[in-house]
Amino acid sequence: MLEGRADIAVHSMKDVPVEFPEGLGLVTICERDDPRDAFVSNRYASIDELPAGSVVGTSSLRRQCQLAATRPDLAIRSLRGNVGTRLSKLDNGEYDAIILAAAGLKRLQLEARIRQPLSPEQSLPAVGQGAVGIECRLDDAWTRGLLAPLNHTETAVRVRAERAMNTRLEGGCQVPIGSYAELKDGELWLRALVGAPDGSQLVRGERRGPAEQAEALGISLAEELLDNGAREILAAVYDGEAPR
């Protein structure tokens, strides 16, 4: 885009970094799809049905820390590759179950593989999970005008709160941070957590307030999490570099 060879970039919001190169920015956030994580298994209908010692695959420290906290008797193993590769590894018997994003499965018309959608109470989603964002050059008024009708105001407000929280925590894609905002009658309800990868500690918090204060709510919640133990957890994940 900076070279002028592309006008836009379309992103899954859960994978978008907190900072952009100079001259580029996120100008549109489309209506959010299913934000939940999904339990996928060929043998078991739910996480609760998994016997002790079952092997569960995930590529996410966020999913890992929450699963380890609720089911420490499971063997959680790293799972890499695209969705098709991950499903193949499950089908080949390398895992008893895997955890994926529900939205990704649905977009690939693989919703039938979902055995159990995991509520935010069971597995708090990643920042921006289920939403699609569009990036372009900030000085490209014509393209920005074309994209404007695709912006979904409610989703944008929710994601803005989640990303403000994540930015204050200096989070990225591969960190044990979860966050989910809901908007009802103009009031924003933001939940978040930071967890030790082994599930030994989960620091949770929430904020409620007017949608107009989305970013302030996110920053305030992040400060609370840092004060309640998240700073030490993240310092270990970041090899000693704690958020300021």
pLDDT per residue over 162-200, tens digit each?
Answer: 999 999 999 876 789 999 999 998 899 999 999 999 999
The answer to whether residues 55 and 111 belong to one domain is yes
**Residue 143: its pLDDT value, please?**
97
**Residues 167 and 128 sit within 8 Å (Cβ to Cβ):** no
How far is it, in rounded angstroms, from Cα 46 to Cα 125?
18
Same domain assignment for residues 42 and 101? yes
Residue with tokens 């840092």: 226
Quote the pLDDT of residue 129.
Answer: 97
Position 18 scores a pLDDT of 84
| pLDDT string in tens for the chain (244-residue length) | 999 999 999 999 998 988 899 999 999 999 999 999 999 999 999 999 999 999 999 989 999 999 999 999 999 999 999 999 999 999 999 999 999 999 999 999 999 999 999 999 999 999 999 999 999 999 999 999 999 999 999 999 999 999 999 999 998 767 899 999 999 988 999 999 999 999 999 999 999 999 999 999 999 999 999 999 999 999 999 887 777 7
- 21 with 86, same domain: the answer is no
CA atoms of 110 and 31, how far apart (whole Å)? 20
Residues 143, 27 within the same domain: yes
Q: Please check whether residue 2 lies inside any domain of the structure.
A: no
DSSP annotation of 185: T
Q: What is the pLDDT of residue 244?
A: 76
DSSP alpha helix (H) spans, 71-152:
83-91, 102-107, 141-147
Residue pair 157/211 in contact (Cβ under 8 Å)? The answer is yes
CB contact burial 185-204 (16+ within 10 A = b; e otherwise): eeebbbbbbbbbbebebbbe
Establish if 41 belongs to a structural domain: yes
Is the distance from CB of 11 to CB of 147 less than 8 angstroms? no
Residues 204 and 217 in one domain: yes
| Strands 202-210 and 177-184, bridge-based pairing | unpaired
Q: Given this model, what pLDDT does residue 155 score?
A: 98
What pTM was computed for the model? Answer: 0.93
Same domain, 150 and 221: yes
Let me know whether 98 and 207 are in one domain: no
Does one domain contain both 14 and 113? Answer: no
Domain assignment present for 242 = no
Residue 169 belongs to a domain:
yes
* pLDDT in the model for residue 54: 98
* 176 and 59 belong to one structural domain: no
pLDDT at 178: 97
CATH number for the domain spanning 12: value is: 3.30.160.40
Amino acid letter, residue 92:
N
Number of domains in the chain: 2
The set of catalytic residues is 15
18, 59: one domain:
no
Q: What is the CATH number of the domain that holds 112?
A: 3.40.190.10
| Domain boundaries, position 50 | 37-118
